[in-house]
A and B are shown apart, each in its own frame.
Chain A
Amino acid sequence: MADAIKLEIVTPSRMLFSDSVEMVVIPGSEGEFGVLPRHAPTLANLQRGALNVYNNGTVTRRFLIEGGVADVLPERVIVLAERAVDLDAVSTQNLDEQLVNATEAEAAFVNAAKEAV
């Protein structure tokens, strides 16, 4: 089995994801970048975008994240995101419910998530 890197996605309200993965593509503010095991230590600002988790060469999990920072070390990645949704676990209906009493910033994010689902 190929090397794996530990990925944690943390939001203010909970730990969204914590597992070993083969590769993760992160939407940095200076452009998307992929992280493989033994990546150089990096601290990157994030922008709204899709975060894709790869296992065995294909995308296995997709998240939409917004705002925050990614802390990359050779053996682990921690993504601190202000908002995040698991695109495989939500439906458009769920997101519509969230829209009901959302603030402007949140609504923009939820709408983007709806498009991505």
Chain B
Amino acid sequence: MANLKDLKTRINSVKSTQKITSAMKMVAAAKLRRAQESAEANRPYSFRMQQVISGLASKAIKATAPELLIGREIVQTHLLIVVSADKGLCGGFNGSIARQTRLEIKRLEKEGKSVLLYMIGKKAADNLRRDIKDKIFGRVENLQGSDLDYNKVDTVSQEILTGFNDIYFDQVSIIYNQFVNAITQNVVSKPLIPVQLNDDKEDTGASNYEYEPDENELLEQLLPRNITTQIYSALLESFAAELAARMTAMDNATRNAGDMIDSLTLVYNRTRQANITKELIEIISGAEAL
């Protein structure tokens, strides 16, 4: 039978764990609101940018259009940008990113392409360490929350553009967690180079646009910017999703700790009662023997 002192220690340790998890949940919830706001504030910009590019792309002359838009004919190497969190304790958040990345790598290699990776955030890189050690193109950490700003993302995208221009890779896509709501996050994989065009939309009257300067020059200016914008918005989404995932995970942990405390307390009380009963029996039978 478990002894009382051990049980007491056990209960206390679970209680302090519960305090930590519930504090973490609270912190995540508070931060989530801000992160969600900034992710939503960015949506008009990235949405408009996408619209403008699609409009332009439909006008651009195919033969002279920049490679960033239409891609290269022969694709040998594919760069995956993997966005994960710097911290753990957020449920399946980092795990699902790592799993998706593994799948993508397998798929691309089956198509006969080689894969390079650009890791943003610490956790997925740690998780995938063994699969990827010879595939790393670049790696950054501390690019989330208050540390995230447009200029830093711009440095990352410059690095990627230089890599593209030097033909280290011919295609780029980004894998990240998209924030849907506080309980749902979706892992998405989105192509960046070549640009994915949504041609389902009827652009009204866009055909008589005047361009200043001409289409191709505009595209050359806009496409690199679009890359930065897309990465930036992926990072904002991912951070909001991370906080949401952490909030849910910590909520579960707090509840589990509560259950555990209940059942441990029950055992503790039973044991205590059993001890008392045993002592009573000893006294009574001792008295009877006299």
Contact = CB atoms under 8 A, between A and B. Distances in A.
| A and B assemble together | yes
Interface size class of A (residues with CB under 8 A): 20 to 34
A13 B212 contact: no
Interface in B186-222: 205-206, 208-213, 217-218, 221-222
Interface size class of B (residues with CB under 8 A): 20 to 34
Contacts of B150: 12-13, 82-83
B38 interface: yes
A43 B56 contact: yes
Interface string B30-49: 00000000100110111011
B221 A45 contact: yes
Contacts, number: 78
A90 B225 CA distance: 26
Contacts of A67: 225
Contacts of B222: 45, 69
Nearest to A101: B149
A15 B45 CA distance: 8
Interface in A67-104: 67-69, 71, 73, 78, 80, 82-83, 102-103
Contacts of A37: none
B206 A41 contact: yes
A3 to B, nearest CB: 18
A91 B198 CA distance: 42
A78 B48 contact: yes
Interface of B is mostly: helix
B210 A45 contact: no
Given A67-B225, A68-B225, A10 B209 contact: no
Given A11-B45, A12-B232, A71-B52, A42 B209 contact: yes
B171 interface: no
A115 interface: no
Interface of A: 8, 10-15, 28-30, 40-45, 67-69, 71, 73, 78, 80, 82-83, 102-103, 105-106
Interface in B148-198: 150-152, 154-155
Contacts of A40: 208, 210
Contacts of A69: 52, 218, 221-222
B41 A15 contact: yes
7 contacts: A10-B48, A42-B209, A45-B218, A45-B221, A67-B225, A82-B150, A106-B151
B229 interface: yes
Contacts of B152: 103
A82 B225 contact: yes
A94 to B, nearest CB: 16
Contact of B208 (A15, A41, A45): A41
